[in-house]
């Protein structure tokens, strides 16, 4: 269970407000994370998204609601996971404006939905989904992390939180060899990226199921995010780096068919952003969380 939080968290510089940037935060879970963090008196929440105007509308809703005070600002340039220059520009803007990023929450992602289930999207063949999904959700998120690492290192207590999903549970793999590869404590970022590219290649040549891959591009992308989280936690032990399953939330991504309120889905990322750290060496890192508790990657107790 995540430890309780207080407004005076484990950050060592109360003279300035802490800075949290949330990607894909103009709506849904991302917006609710920004709402929760922005209402903390010692935080500024930066809403990052592809459409700056939608980001401004989200900020207006959060800051002019009349029910509470929320310090949320919009990133005034688009942040698109598929456009490397937009990611670099976002990091440059944060560096110029704040000089630091205390909390980075990677929430932005895409998911191709089944039109027979939600009825609002055109069908995209599975082989056309693979590269787009992996390039956006895995490689795009990886680029965001790489761009913001220098700013996270400027924080006295940096937090990196990757929004994952039960869709990325380890048991979607049907190959022991793949399971062993993804769970290896020796797995490196280049090796993980090669695995993600291998999935795309196997989908394109029609051999992915024979090789033990599942029929879910979104699931594999989130599997990669959880694996990346574990690697980063090993590489940067001075940071608190974790992944979170927010649950099956009602969002545009699933045509609001989810059963969890986005505000509830935002709760665990919020806790990880603010949780008190008594001992830096004992801080939770490299873990996967669901409903404020650690969840095995297999989702099997």
Contact 232/204 with Cβ under 8 angstroms? no
Contact 26/51 with Cβ under 8 angstroms? yes
Identify whether 270 is a catalytic site residue.
no
Alpha carbons 136 and 157: distance in angstroms, whole number: 28
65 CB-near residues (< 8 Å, 6+ apart): none
**Three-state SS at 121:** coil
Q: How many residues does the chain have?
A: 301
Alpha carbons 105 and 142: distance in angstroms, whole number: 12
Sort residue 119 into left (φ over 0), alpha (ψ -120 to 50) or beta. Answer: left
What per-residue string of b and e applies to 39-76 under the rule 16 or more CB within 10 Å gives b? bbebbbbbbbbbebebbbebbeebbeeeeeebbbbbbe
Instruction: Please give the structure tokens belonging to residue 121.
Output: 């999207």
Phi, psi of 267 (to 5 degrees): -65, -45
Alpha carbons 272 and 264: distance in angstroms, whole number: 14
Q: Which of 98, 138, 218, 236 is catalytic?
A: 218
**Three-point CA angle 180, 181, 187, nearest 5°:** 125
Contact 73/40 with Cβ under 8 angstroms? no
**Residues involved in catalysis:** 218
């Amino acid at each position: 269970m995540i430890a309780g939080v207080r407004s005076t968290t484990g950050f060592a510089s109360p003279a300035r407000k802490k800075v949290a940037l949330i990607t894909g935060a103009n709506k849904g879970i991302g917006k609710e994370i920004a709402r929760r963090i922005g209402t903390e008196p010692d935080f500024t929440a930066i809403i990052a998204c592809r459409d700056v105007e939608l980001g401004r509308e989200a900020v207006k809703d959060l800051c002019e609601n009349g029910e509470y005070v929320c310090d949320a600002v919009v990133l005034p340039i688009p942040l698109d996971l598929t456009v490397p220059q937009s990611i670099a520009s976002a990091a440059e803007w944060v560096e110029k404006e704040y000089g630091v990023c205390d909390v980075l929450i990677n929430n932005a992602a895409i998911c191709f939905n089944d039109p027979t289930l939600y009825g609002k999207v055109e069908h995209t063949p599975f082989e056309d989904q693979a590269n787009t999904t992996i390039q956006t959700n895995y490689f795009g998120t990886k680029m965001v992390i790489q761009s913001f690492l220098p700013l996270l290192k400027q924080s006295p207590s940096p937090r990196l939180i990757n929004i994952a999903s039960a869709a990325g549970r380890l048991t979607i793999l049907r190959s022991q060899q793949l399971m062993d590869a993804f769970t290896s404590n020796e797995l490196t970022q280049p090796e993980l990226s090669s695995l993600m590219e291998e999935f795309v290649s196997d989908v394109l040549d029609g051999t992915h199921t024979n090789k033990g891959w599942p029929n879910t591009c979104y699931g594999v992308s989130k599997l990669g995010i959880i694996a990346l989280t574990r690697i980063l936690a090993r590489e940067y032990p001075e940071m608190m780096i974790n992944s979170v399953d927010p649950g099956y939330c009602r969002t545009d991504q699933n045509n609001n068919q989810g059963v969890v309120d986005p505000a509830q889905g935002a709760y665990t990322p919020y806790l990880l952003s603010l949780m008190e750290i008594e001992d830096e060496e004992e801080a939770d890192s490299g873990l996967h969380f669901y409903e404020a508790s650690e969840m095995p990657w297999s989702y099997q107790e």
